[in-house]
Amino acid sequence: MDKNITVRCPTCQKPVAWKQSSAFRPFCSERCRLIDLGEWANEEKVIPGPELPGAVNPDADKEDEY
């Protein structure tokens, strides 16, 4: 059974066919994929949860550098 599944691009909300030929799925393009990756890298997007034991917060012990 061959179903046509369409999802929305997480970045721009354009419809994207969910099939093997859609190289950037769930994104519509490499541009939208890279925008999303940049948001994760800049910590604009995070997965909420408890802080892990032994996790290092690099900003915790910083003194004002200005």
pLDDT, residue 51, reads 82
Spell out the domain ranges in the chain: 6-41
Whether the pTM exceeds 0.85: the reply is: no
Q: What is the Cα–Cα distance from 38 to 30, expressed in whole angstroms?
A: 12
Which residues contribute to the annotated binding site? 9, 12, 28, 32
Q: What is the pLDDT of residues 20-54, one digit of tens each?
A: 999 999 999 999 999 999 999 998 998 888 888 88
Which residues contribute to the annotated binding site for Zn(2+)? 9, 12, 28, 32
Cβ neighbours of residue 4 closer than 8 Å, sequence gap 6 or more? 17
In the predicted model, is pLDDT for residue 59 greater than 90? Answer: no
Confidence of residue 1 (pLDDT cuts 50, 70, 90): very low
Q: What is the Cα–Cα distance from 12 to 28, expressed in whole angstroms?
A: 8
Confidence of residue 66 (pLDDT cuts 50, 70, 90): low
The class of domain 6-41 in CATH terms is alpha beta
